[in-house]
Amino acid sequence: MFRRSCPAPGTVRSSLRARIVAGALRPVGRYLSGQAARPHGVVGYGLSRIWIRETAAVNDVAVALLAPEAGERVAEIGFGPGRTLARIAAAGAEVVGVEVSEAMISSFARSHAELLAAGRVHLHRGDGTTIPASDGSLDAALAVHTLYFWPDPAATVTDIARALRADGRLVLAFRAGEHPTPARFDPDIYHLPTTTEVTQWLTDAGFKDVQIQNHADISHAVAWAIGFKR
Ligand SMILES: C[S@@+](CC[C@H](N)C(=O)[O-])C[C@H]1O[C@@H](n2cnc3c(N)ncnc32)[C@H](O)[C@@H]1O
């Protein structure tokens, strides 16, 4: 019987077309990934408005796990549009927001001037390698969909541990690297760690009882890591 030793012409054409389309879209993916890592300009602002809805469920689980209480001091690293920052402040906690994007800082400062004026939210520009809080001065910290962009995530987790009080807690929500990376994420910009790597960072930083949670109803690829410093 005749056996085809090479792909059918139609298959070659469609795989060539897929490669051309993927190649043409790569610069778009790179641009949008760069915006996710450090939103700027009109596009960055527009994307941050989209994230409010897109990441709401992941942020809501992170806040529920963190369970901020009135009177506590909480840090959020990479707050982006600041929906979670404002929610934690609304719970009565004092919030320290750390952002690498000047655009996100000024946008939040404009829309929530009253929280800043009342001293309920403090904003700092930085890359999170050093948390702007003295030793043991925070009750809790969280970061959602941002650790992919940190220059040295293990160092950031270690510095968060330094800034947390003796029984403080940390919640990190992230897309886990054991799942396929979406094509729109530029791998030179998005560094997706596995849950094993994140667990190791927390354990090395002295967190106890590190747990990983999944909520398949929200996303099978997102993980929430929770660590307690006690
Ligand atoms: C994809 S957005 C997520 C924003 C928000 N946490 C959310 O869940 O919608 C990532 C945010 O992390 C910020 N970011 C990236 N690297 C950072 C770093 N090293 N330190 C602080 N913020 C950082 C970006 O500027 C951006 O606002």
- Does any domain span residue 1? no
pLDDT of residue 173: 98
- Domain presence at residue 174: yes
* pLDDT higher than threshold 90 for residue 19: no
Q: Is pLDDT above 90 for 28? A: yes
Instruction: Write the pLDDT tens digit of every residue in 30-63.
Output: 999 999 999 999 999 999 999 999 999 999 999 9
230 neighbors 208 (Cβ within 8 angstroms): yes
Q: Report if residue 7 sits inside a domain.
A: no
- By most ligand atoms within 8 Å of CB, the mutation choice from 77, 147, 149, 219 for ligand 1 is 149
In the predicted structure, residue 9 carries a pLDDT above the cut 70: no
Which residue's C-alpha comes closest to atom 4 of ligand 1? 80
| 2 within some domain | no
- The answer as to whether 62 is a domain residue is yes
pLDDT score of 170: 98
Q: Tell me which of 85, 100, 184 to substitute to probe ligand 1's pocket, judged by most ligand atoms within 8 Å of the beta carbon.
A: 100
Which residue has its alpha carbon closest to ligand 1 atom 26? 80
Instruction: Determine which residue's CA is closest to atom 22 belonging to ligand 1.
Output: 78
- Give the domain extent around 206: 12-17+26-228
Q: Is residue 4 part of a domain?
A: no
Tokens for 150, please give them.
């940190």
pLDDT at 3: 47
Question: In this structure, is residue 141 part of a structural domain?
Answer: yes
Identify which of 99, 144, 185, 219 to mutate to test ligand 1's pocket (most ligand atoms within 8 A of the CB). Answer: 99
For residue 89, give the CATH number of its domain: 3.40.50.150
The answer, yes or no, to whether residue 1 has pLDDT greater than 50, is no
pLDDT of residue 25: 77
Rg of the chain, C-alpha, whole Å:
20
CA of 48 to the centre of ligand 1 (A): 10
Q: What is this structure's pTM?
A: 0.91
What is the distance in A from the centroid of ligand 1 to the CA of 11? 41
Closest Cα partner for 183 from 28, 39, 40? 28
- Give CA–CA dist 155/140, Å, rounded: 17
Task: Give the C-alpha separation, 202 to 161, whole Å.
Answer: 9
Residue 98 located in a structural domain: yes
Count of domains observed in the chain: 1
User: In this predicted model, what pLDDT tens digit does every residue of 128-175 receive, in sequence order?
Assistant: 999 999 999 999 999 999 999 999 999 999 999 999 999 999 999 999
Strand partners, 123: 97
Give the up-direction half-sphere exposure of residue 142: CA atoms within 13 A in the CB hemisphere: 28
Query: What is the model's pLDDT at position 178?
Result: 97
Say yes or no to pLDDT of 2 above 50: no
pLDDT of residue 16: 78
Which atom of ligand 1 approaches the CA of 76 most closely? Answer: 6
pLDDT above 70 covers what percent of the chain? 93
